[in-house]
Amino acid sequence: MKSNRQSKLLFHKITHWEYWPFQIVYIPIYFLWAYYAIRAKSIFFFNASNPTIKNGGFMMESKKEIYDLIPQQYYPKTELIKGETTLQEIKNQMKKLGLQYPLIAKPDIGLRGSAVKKINSDKELKHYHEKASFDFLVQDLIPYEKEVGIFYVRYPNENQGKITGIVSKEFVIITGDGHSTIEELIRKNPRYELQYESLLKEYGEKIVSILPNGKKLNLVPYGNHARGAKFIDCSHWISPKLTQTINEICLQIPGFYFGRLDIMYHSWEELERGEKFSIVEINGAGSEPTHIYDPRHSLFFAWKELARHITYMYEISVINHKNGNPYLSHSDGMNQYRLHLEQSNRIVNF
């Protein structure tokens, strides 16, 4: 029975390119990158795409440093916890900032949603703190239920940017029927079942409890593809009103020209007006146009969109470079990449 389930899941992954390793998906893109690197005379041209963000936001960038660039009213209360901080000091920092449970803990230098946890108590905070071998953030849980990723591009010396894609995120939510366990409800959906091992660690014995009829449970309270969220291409939602709102926000973020804003919001009409929303985080040069992961899209569509966005990044980097922002030297770039791999291993092994 177990091997049959595993075979079905393997077949599901093979027949849905969105689950393929990014090293395979990106094979054609590597050639485009090489072409632009030759033209720029630097593999690490991305460094100039967002001059105020470390490495342009491609690797080793601090989330806290990016939050510090954003006007405070646009993102949740956030505190940086350094590795040597004691648990009591963390509690004192939380009290000073007014942070209360439940909250989100996540690495300051992250990797595709790894080690992001919802923390409900002192006990869970203590467990996270003891396991974390990296600096991390504690952050207010955003009260809004809907989430989108909005990709924004603006050329330097221009005051008007544009939205190049919108992805809506469908959370890992199960609905009880009064007789099925949480585990059984997870296994009914291949997308959710692929997350079973991580959900088992998260919920422990609770996973065999029965969910009441009609009761909904959000198993992963953040919209991350690697953690099971379904990504839906909603680029048709782009409108002049939304573009104006997002442009006004991004103009207030110094040196930000290229990247994706992950935003939680109450209603679309309010978001268009710039009301009742919160920026989960901003991703720079390393961010993807995640609307490509809509299951309706082909791999060819993904390649086209990836190529389009890397071209934007290259063009912006070249202009910023001409304006005096340097590219990373080869030695510095390789050193940053080595540090990136080390940080990735710490987070993945969390």
Together in a domain, 17 and 158 = yes
Together in a domain, 44 and 157 = yes
pLDDT of 221 > 70? The answer is no
pLDDT (0 to 100) of residue 169: 84
246 domain residue, yes or no: yes
Together in a domain, 114 and 195 = no
For the beta carbon of residue 84, count every other beta carbon within 10 angstroms: 7
Together in a domain, 278 and 179 = no
Together in a domain, 51 and 160 = yes
- Comparing 174 with 264, the larger pLDDT belongs to 264
331 domain residue, yes or no: no
Lowest pLDDT segment from 42-46, 47-51, 179-183, 239-243: 179-183
Q: 48-52, 113-117, 173-177, 219-223: which has the highest mean pLDDT?
A: 48-52
- Comparing 330 with 84, the larger pLDDT belongs to 330
For the beta carbon of residue 82, count every other beta carbon within 10 angstroms: 11
From residue 197, alpha-carbon distances to 129, 183, 201, 231, 259 in Å are 22, 11, 6, 21, 31
**What's the CA gap between 347 and 325, in Å, rounded?**
31
pLDDT of 101 > 70? The answer is yes
pLDDT (0 to 100) of residue 193: 76
Together in a domain, 246 and 278 = yes
What percent of the chain stands above pLDDT 70?
96
319 domain residue, yes or no: no
SS3 of 56-78: the string is HHCCCCCHHHHHCCCCHHHCCCE
266 domain residue, yes or no: yes
Mean pLDDT of 200-215: 82
Lowest pLDDT segment from 8-17, 102-111, 184-193, 241-250: 8-17
Together in a domain, 167 and 177 = no
Mean pLDDT of 114-119: 85
49-90 confidence digits (pLDDT tens): 999 999 999 999 999 999 999 999 999 999 999 978 888 999
Cα–Cα nearest to 47, from 237, 238, 286, 228 = 286
- pLDDT category at 1 given cuts 50, 70, 90 is low
**What's the CA gap between 258 and 239, in Å, rounded?**
19
327 domain residue, yes or no: no
- pLDDT category at 9 given cuts 50, 70, 90 is confident
Q: Whole-number mean pLDDT of the chain?
A: 90
Together in a domain, 166 and 190 = no
pLDDT of 223 > 70? The answer is no
330 domain residue, yes or no: no
Assess contact for 207 and 200: CB atoms under 8 A.
yes
Mean pLDDT of 174-195: 82
Mean pLDDT of 332-345: 90
Together in a domain, 216 and 239 = no
Beta bridge pairs of residue 232:
168
Assess contact for 151 and 309: CB atoms under 8 A.
yes
318 domain residue, yes or no: no
Together in a domain, 43 and 148 = yes
Contacts of 105 by beta carbon, 8 Å cutoff, 6+ apart: 116, 117, 119, 125, 128, 132, 136, 137, 138, 139
pLDDT (0 to 100) of residue 2: 59
126-140 confidence digits (pLDDT tens): 998 988 888 999 999
230 domain residue, yes or no: yes
- Comparing 105 with 7, the larger pLDDT belongs to 105
Domain count, the chain: 3
pLDDT of 222 > 70? The answer is no
Contacts of 90 by beta carbon, 8 Å cutoff, 6+ apart: 81, 125, 129, 138
Together in a domain, 161 and 193 = no
Residue 292: give the domain boundaries. 1-74+143-171+221-310
150-174 confidence digits (pLDDT tens): 999 999 989 999 999 999 988 777 8
**What's the CA gap between 290 and 297, in Å, rounded?**
11
**What's the CA gap between 70 and 207, in Å, rounded?**
39
Together in a domain, 118 and 179 = no
End-to-end C-alpha distance for the chain, whole angstroms:
30
Mean pLDDT of 250-259: 97
- pLDDT category at 225 given cuts 50, 70, 90 is low
- pLDDT category at 3 given cuts 50, 70, 90 is low
CATH of residue 29's domain is: 3.30.470.20
Mean pLDDT of 198-222: 80
Beta strands in the chain (DSSP E): 78-81, 103-107, 117-119, 136-140, 146-153, 162-170, 172-175, 216-220, 230-233, 258-265, 277-283
Choose one of 295, 310, 325: the last residue of a domain.
Answer: 310
